[in-house]
Amino acid sequence: MEFASGRVTFPETRFTPRAACGTLESSEFSIVNFHQAKARLRKRVAMELKRYPWVLPAATVLSGVATLFALDRSAPALAVVGVLCLVATAYLWGFSTRAFRPPRWPSTSHLQRREYGAVWDTLASSSQAAAFNASGRRSEQEVRESAGPTLRNLSELVGITVQDDVLEIGCGVGRIGRELAPLCRLWTGSDVSKNMLTYASERLGQLGNVRLIQLQGEGLSELAGSSFDVVYCTNMLAHLDEIDRWYYVRDAFRVLRPGGRLFIDTIDIESGEGWAMFVQGSCPALESARPPFMPRFSTAAELKNYANRAGFPQVETHNRPPLVILIARKS
């Protein structure tokens, strides 16, 4: 790995396409679906417990009372059930108290939003922090599973083939690149944060067709024109100032080859879910400080405007709440 003139590069030494036409295989979908269903259930239970925080303490007290009652009445079977319930509810109570404690974010209040490199290096001070702040997931397995929805959207809306040279803008720790690189010819991950790229290089080091590039944060001036078939940006645009969103769409047009496809997803403030996230705050613990990485949501019209003005002749948007997805093609 090199850090010459702000670039981190893997030589293209190995090329091992996994799927013939770049779409995900159905067995992969079903594994991803199972894990997603599990994650959805976990999220649902957590939401209900957050909404009714008295349930577990009440269940623990009730179990204790029932146990005492059973002992008083010399009912050993009931006492055993009571003790088991007491242990289970007390454990869940303690566990949920710890799990729902708001994360301690490193301070970025001395930084402005457009000091992207410094902000995101601060958020990526260790490999765990980098993975969590890029994906909201803690374990490697969860990080990998969380790529599923973006991969499906990419596969369905732009299609990725083994002939494609693909660029991700704001790649973080390579959450998507880890899964996408085996499906395309060359996957280039670009990011403003040197720390994120360092951890991305650790995660993706074993893949031969991966290249990582450090950006200045305001466009793609580091990249040659007409050098990619697909440019995508996921889970990133909301962190940018509007002018930098425009610079990236404008530059995506420049670096795409004729026929190239652009994919951008971001949170849609016009969707019901997006609006709820906007009103409630994506992380209530941060609301009062409004730190520089706090997401700012978009509309389909905003994304279409950038793409039209950049010169894309074909522009469409798709609603996948809470996301709006821009697809643009260069002729």
Ligand X SMILES: C[S@@+](CC[C@H](N)C(=O)[O-])C[C@H]1O[C@@H](n2cnc3c(N)ncnc32)[C@H](O)[C@@H]1O
Contact pick of 166, 184, 192, 210 for ligand X (by CB under 6 A): 192
Phi/psi region, residue 268 (left: phi>0; alpha: psi -120 to 50; beta: rest), is beta
Q: By CB under 6 A, what part of segment 207-266 binds ligand X?
A: 215, 217, 234-236, 239-240, 244
| 134 touching ligand X, by CB under 6 A | yes
Give the type of residue at 182: P
Longest dimension (CA), the chain: 82
Please give the structure tokens belonging to residue 109.
């209040």
Give the type of residue at 293: F
Q: By CB under 6 A, what part of segment 42-81 binds ligand X?
A: none
H or E stretch at 246: helix 242-255
Please give the structure tokens belonging to residue 223.
């990249």
Of 64-72, 155-163, 165-173, 275-283, the window that binds ligand X (rule: CB under 6 A) is 165-173
Indicate the residue among 86 and 120 with the shorter CB distance to ligand X: 120
3-class DSSP state of 53: coil
| 177 touching ligand X, by CB under 6 A | no
In our burial notation (b when 16+ CB lie closer than 10 A, e otherwise), range 246-259 reads: bbbbbbbbbbbeee
Task: List C-alpha distances in Å: 119 to 108, 115, 128.
Answer: 6, 6, 16
Q: By CB under 6 A, what part of segment 89-118 binds ligand X?
A: 116
Contact pick of 191, 229, 265, 268 for ligand X (by CB under 6 A): 191
CB of 70 to ligand X, least distance (A): 51
What residue number has its CB nearest to ligand X? Answer: 172
Work out whether the CA dihedral 113, 119, 120, 123 comes out positive or negative. Answer: negative
Task: List C-alpha distances in Å: 35 to 31, 173, 293.
Answer: 6, 21, 29
Indicate the residue among 145 and 191 with the shorter CB distance to ligand X: 191
Q: How far is Cα 276 from Cα 51, in angstroms, rounded to an integer?
A: 15
- Please return the burial class of 25, using the count of CB atoms within 10 Å of its CB with bins 0-12, 13-18 and 19+: exposed
Contact pick of 23, 122, 135, 198 for ligand X (by CB under 6 A): 135
| 120 touching ligand X, by CB under 6 A | yes
CB of 275 to ligand X, least distance (A): 20
| 172 touching ligand X, by CB under 6 A | yes
Indicate the residue among 82 and 170 with the shorter CB distance to ligand X: 170
Please give the structure tokens belonging to residue 173.
């720790």
Indicate the residue among 229 and 265 with the shorter CB distance to ligand X: 265
Indicate the residue among 165 and 244 with the shorter CB distance to ligand X: 244
Q: How far is Cα 121 from Cα 141, in angstroms, rounded to an integer?
A: 23
Indicate the residue among 22 and 217 with the shorter CB distance to ligand X: 217
| 175 touching ligand X, by CB under 6 A | yes
Indicate the residue among 1 and 20 with the shorter CB distance to ligand X: 1
Residues near ligand X (CB under 6 A) are 116, 120, 134-135, 169-172, 175-176, 191-193, 196, 215, 217, 234-236, 239-240, 244
